[in-house]
Amino acid sequence: MSVSRDDFSIAFRSALLQRGGAQKFSVLSLTFLALVIFFIDIYGPKITKPVRAFINDVVYRITYLASTPTRVFPKAGDTISSYMNIREENKRLKAEIEKYKSLELDVEFLADENKNLQKILETEYFNKNLTNIVLAKVLVDKDSPFLKSIIINKGTKNGVLKGMPVTMDNYLVGRIVETNYLSSRVLLLNDLNSRIPVTLDKGAQAILSGSGLTNPILEYLPEDFDTVEGLSVFASGKDGIFTSGTPIGKTNSKGTVNLFVDPNQLSFVTVNLNIQNQGKL
């Protein structure tokens, strides 16, 4: 019995303290170091934040370079297939141009009407301050089962601050949750930690909550509200972060929301610098 206990303690100690050969550091010393780094990162003084931001910037750039093959090869395949289908695509595009020409007049009329209605309602027209919108490239789009986020190539150097809304083609994508000097992390709408006040077509108010899956869900809807397919979902702007009326997506038959922008297909996004500058957050 005592022999087996000795065996256990020897194996245990050896696993914790063993060094030599390829192992320059013992598990125990590295565990201690990891704990120190962990607690400094969480409770550390303010001086550690710029250090962490610098490390983030460097690692994100390396990640971007290291991920080049994963971006280049699928694009090369797309380019080849697009050359093969160029004739058919030309035909289709011509037909589409004709269709859009006829729609253009309608759009112009509706845009004017929309502007006038927004003036009456005294809400912000979300394209009003285009000078304060920054275009950013997605550096890293690493999918994780626990955190849905992307890294963009604009940081505090460009005026990006925590909490700023991020859009793509005027559709809401998420918000800034971490800023470094040259890069920032955007929390996507489908992340489990994302909560956004929204308005539905019928005027109902709700909270759009990320589910960790592709489609976020609607919470806190009115009790008698019947969610039907095809209802448009907009940011309500009640939190003072997101511009009211920014389109987000449409409801589907499952009661979740199909986002207008696929969170897995982001390459360029825009950051609205106005909100934080106005001190609304």
Partner 1 sequence: MARNSIMNKLYNGGPLFLLYYLCISEIDTNLEKVFEIFTLNFQIILIYFWVIKRPDIMANGHIFLAGLINDVVMGFPLGLSSLSYLIIIFVGTYVRNKSVNTTIASDWFTFLLAMIFSNLLFFSLLNNFSDLMFSFTKIGYNIFFTLFMFPVFWLLFNIYQTTFMTNRDA
Q: Is 94 in the site for partner 1 (CB under 8 A)?
A: no
Stretch of residues binding partner 1 (CB under 8 A), selected from 62-70, 77-85, 88-96, 122-130: 62-70
Please pick, from the candidates 9, 50, 55, 99, the single residue that binds partner 1 as defined by CB under 8 A.
55
Q: How far is the CB of 90 from partner 1 (least distance, A)?
A: 31
Amino acid, single-letter form, for residue 35: L
Instruction: Count other C-beta atoms under 10 Å from residue 84's C-beta.
Output: 9
Stretch of residues binding partner 1 (CB under 8 A), selected from 76-84, 145-153, 197-205, 266-274: 145-153
Amino acid, single-letter form, for residue 236: S
Report the alpha-carbon angle 271-244-135, nearest 5.
15
Nearest one of 278, 262, 251, 245 to 124, comparing CA atoms: 245
Burial 231-266 (b: 16+ CB within 10 A, else e): bbbbbbbebebbbbbbbbbbbeeeebbbbbbebeeb
Nearest one of 188, 139, 141, 193 to 165, comparing CA atoms: 188
Q: Is 192 in the site for partner 1 (CB under 8 A)?
A: yes
Write each residue from 198 to 237 as x if it is in contact with partner 1 (CB under 8 A), else as -, in one continuous string: --------------xxx-----------------------
Residues engaged in binding partner 1 (CB under 8 A): 7-8, 10-12, 14-16, 18, 21-27, 30-31, 33-38, 40-42, 52, 55-56, 59-60, 62-63, 66-67, 70-71, 140-147, 149, 178, 185, 192-193, 212-214, 264
